[in-house]
Amino acid sequence: MRIRPTPVRATPVQLIPDFPGPPYSGPVTTGGRAIEHGFPHLDTVRSALHALFKRLSYDTVRTFDTSVPPVDVAFDDDEDLHLGAQRVAHAMVRHLHLPDARAVITFREMEHAANVELTAGPEYFIELNDRFRTHRKDIGAALAHEVTHVALHRLDLVFPGTRDNEILTDTAAAYLGAGWLLLDAYREHGPFSQKLGYLTPEEFGYVLAKRARFFGEDPAPWFTSPQAYEAYTAGAARARQDLRRPPLAAAGWTARLRYAKDRRAAQDPRRPGRPPATGEDYAFEGPSPLRVSFPCPACHQRIRVPVRGRLQARCGLCKTLLDCDT
């Protein structure tokens, strides 16, 4: 007799509001919650990127250089619902380098978009919201989040607290090439709105822009939602700001002036012990030789370099080569 392991149920992916229902006076969720915008979880997102590189290593992350292609998750209306969902689930399983095993997909009424059981395997047990029966386009987005839950569980990569762990899952899904579907599921049509996942649309765009720069793969042509493309553009603009912070050579004029002032303060012999003199991201360490530490704009690993003018530094975690003016 086969004994099934006691399942651990992952926190379900949010449904905000998931699908158009009765008319509403604005982009609100089913429970009256507005879709959040901006970058309220940015610190956690950056911590998630750092944790992903530390747990997987540079070489493993590089194996995700190609995203899940749209053709693998396309879902025709005349395709059998369960067979199609299993096909898409297997595409996610293969993409995330999980063992090839049976995916059991069921549909039922629930508040959230999906649930997954984090069992020892080898099968994958996933529940999808009943509304996906008639809104099949976004099945791939829901499965991207749930299968990423499984991948992180088997890597033993977890953040404390439900909120942070869900942000980790969305960040990992997006950075490893499956989560562009989660952003594409974001739409606003007049009084109706829909968003899957725990990141804001702009934060999804931020992570996808980080991925695009690291792998040289632009997801913009895949977006079918105009709002998703706008969120990606906003996220990409925020990601570019990470490349313009001192001591990076591309830092803006105002930031360079502030950095120079902090550097003089750190070098002032009248100050006992001199450092610390810190900016928003950088911190001086010393006293001699004076060094400055700052986060890598790609993986957010702290990098320490000597304060001696123009130089190049390579991040030891993600191997990114950085032009600096210290």
Burial of 150 (0-12, 13-18, 19+ CB in 10 A): buried
- Highest mean pLDDT out of 97-101, 189-193, 230-234: 230-234
Residue 105 lies in a domain: yes
Number of domains in the chain: 2
Burial of 218 (0-12, 13-18, 19+ CB in 10 A): middle
pLDDT at 188: 84
Q: pLDDT tier at 7 (50, 70, 90 boundaries)?
A: very low
Residue 13 lies in a domain: no
Q: pLDDT tier at 13 (50, 70, 90 boundaries)?
A: low
Same domain, 68 and 150: yes
Same domain, 48 and 92: yes
- Which structural domain range is residue 258 located in? 253-270+278-325
Q: pLDDT tier at 33 (50, 70, 90 boundaries)?
A: low
Are 17 and 30 spatial neighbours (Cβ–Cβ below 8 Å)? yes
Same domain, 82 and 156: yes
Whether 1 has a pLDDT exceeding 70, the answer reads no
| 296-309 CB burial, b ≥16 within 10 A, e <16 | bbbbbbebebebee
Same domain, 68 and 96: yes
Separation of alpha carbons 286 and 301, rounded Å: 20
Residue 314: other Cβ atoms inside 10 A: 12
Q: Which two tokens stand for residue 79?
A: 């395709």
Are 250 and 323 spatial neighbours (Cβ–Cβ below 8 Å)? yes
Residue 33 lies in a domain: no
Task: Dump the DSSP string for 208-269.
Answer: HHHHHHHHT---GGG---HHHHHHHHHHHHHHHHGGGSTTBTT--HHHHHHHHHHHHHHH-T
Same domain, 236 and 98: yes
Residue 21 lies in a domain: no
pLDDT in tens, 68-79: 999 999 988 889
- Average pLDDT across the chain, whole number: 87
Residue 305 lies in a domain: yes
Same domain, 229 and 305: no
Q: Which two tokens stand for residue 273?
A: 């012990």
Residue 220 lies in a domain: yes
Same domain, 212 and 265: no
Residue whose token pair is 């499956």 = 178
In sequence order, the 6+-apart residues with CB closer than 8 A to the CB of 309 are: 325, 326
Q: Which two tokens stand for residue 69?
A: 């292609």
Please name which of 221, 279, 277, 210 lies closest in space to residue 251, comparing C-alpha atoms.
279
Same domain, 120 and 140: yes
pLDDT at 120: 67
pLDDT at 208: 98
Q: pLDDT tier at 242 (50, 70, 90 boundaries)?
A: very high
Lowest-confidence pick of 6-20, 149-163, 275-289: 6-20
Same domain, 163 and 183: yes
pLDDT (mean) for 263-282: 68
Query: How much of the chain, in percent, has pLDDT values that exceed 70?
Result: 85
